[in-house]
Chain A
Amino acid sequence: MLKGKGIPIFITFLVGMIMIISFFIPHKPFGDIEKISLNWYSIIAGFTMLLGVDSLIGMHFRKLKRKDENWFFSLVLILGFTATVVVGIIETVRFGTAFDDKSYFTYIYNYFIVPLQSTMFSLLAFFIASAAYRAFRARNFDATLLLITAIIVMLGRVPLGEQISPYLPKFTEWIMQVPQMAAKRGIGLGISLGALGVSIRIILGIERSYLS
């Protein structure tokens, strides 16, 4: 019985319906059931992250074992992962929580993760600009419109824009509040209609690809 898809489909239906009903009837017993379900959801969802981590670390272990190309960097990844987890455990024992201001775990966050992540994202400024130059060269009306809007928005957000014309920041604000908002809203409506359709199909058991 467990081998079939019947029970999982029923669980999806039941949990999905509880979530929907408790939104409209947030009183007992649905409110409490929703609270418990959300708690369970966050616990179970975390295990999916563990699966992902297992897959990633496993892959790099295999690369290391086979001495594949760039195996040294796989070692760096595994050591970085292990060191962070070990420091987290040690600092939890020392301070009661790894997130104490004086813990080395917080230092890892402040002096490794923050600079690395923000530098990585800032690096994208150069690549977005060069990729955009190649992709959006003003070949036709649409590409020209995109380019001009991007330039106006960029100039309107810096002091230089106000130096060029005091109307530029106001025009940028108008672009953001009116045409940009209109298209964003249209796209958002489409996305939420699509999400609604897919969610209902999954809850009713019509869409089952997630179980394969």
Chain B
Amino acid sequence: MAIATNFWIWIAALLTLAIYSFLYKDNPFYKFAEYLLVGISIGYGISVYWHNTIITKVYNPLVYDKNFLVLIPLLLGLLMFSRFFKNVSYLSRIPIAFVVGAGTGLSVPSSFEFLFKQVYATMPLKLDFGSLIIVVGVISTLVYFFFSLEHKGFVGRVSRVGITFIMVAFGAAFGYTIMARVSLFIGRIQFLLSDWLGIIK
């Protein structure tokens, strides 16, 4: 294999190296890549929103289906910009109220669903060591986060067990996160050595 001749591969490789240069110390190359990522990402986000929402959910229904109802959310959305004008800034509360109402309304049934599912899953179908540990772990973790009672005496001892479970969970989550990051690192090194430099196959 030989070194890449593709212009785009070179761009990706140089940007990768610019980010890794931060391992030495903060420098202009890293800053350049960092700011570029932010700029491009928001540009991409806007384009995706334009395509998936404005075109698909507003323009197409309005032009092809003559669905004039979509003008209402468009108008409500535009009201958000009233924040920039002091004398009418109160109008921005209307779309915010709609978004907050929909968000909280959606979260109520989904929270209930989650609660019931998790409580159901915690109930042991057969009494074995693992099920017992799960029951003890869930209850003691909940007790640790229950601040209406002072963590003294029996409650204190149960919450102490809860901390132990929480530490195990955080340790596992931490180990998992590191592994995920390391696998990303391996992916980038593979890209540099294979796709760019052609040293490995």
Contacts and interface: CB of A to CB of B under 8 A. Distances in A.
Interface of A: 2-3, 5, 7-9, 11-20, 23-24, 36-51, 53, 56-57, 70, 73-74, 76-85, 88, 92, 97-99, 105, 107-126, 128-129, 132, 142-143, 145-154, 157-158, 174-190, 192-193, 195-196, 198-200, 202-203, 210-211
Given A81-B40, A85-B43, A124-B181, A47 B164 contact: no
Contacts of B19: 116, 119-120, 123
Interface of B: 8-9, 11-13, 15-16, 19-20, 22-23, 31-47, 49-51, 53-54, 57-58, 69-70, 72-74, 76-78, 80-81, 83, 90-91, 93-109, 111-112, 114-115, 118-119, 121-122, 130, 133-142, 144-145, 162-179, 181-182, 184-185, 187-188, 191
A187 B8 contact: no
Given A12-B98, A47-B77, 15 more contacts: A43-B53, A43-B54, A43-B58, A46-B54, A81-B39, A108-B40, A111-B12, A118-B188, A119-B15, A132-B178, A149-B172, A151-B175, A183-B169, A185-B134, A202-B101
B43 A84 contact: yes
A38 B106 CA distance: 9
Contacts, number: 374
A114 B165 CA distance: 36
The prevalent SS among residues of A at the interface is helix
A142 B115 contact: no
A124 B94 CA distance: 40
Given A153-B172, A196-B108, A189 B46 contact: no
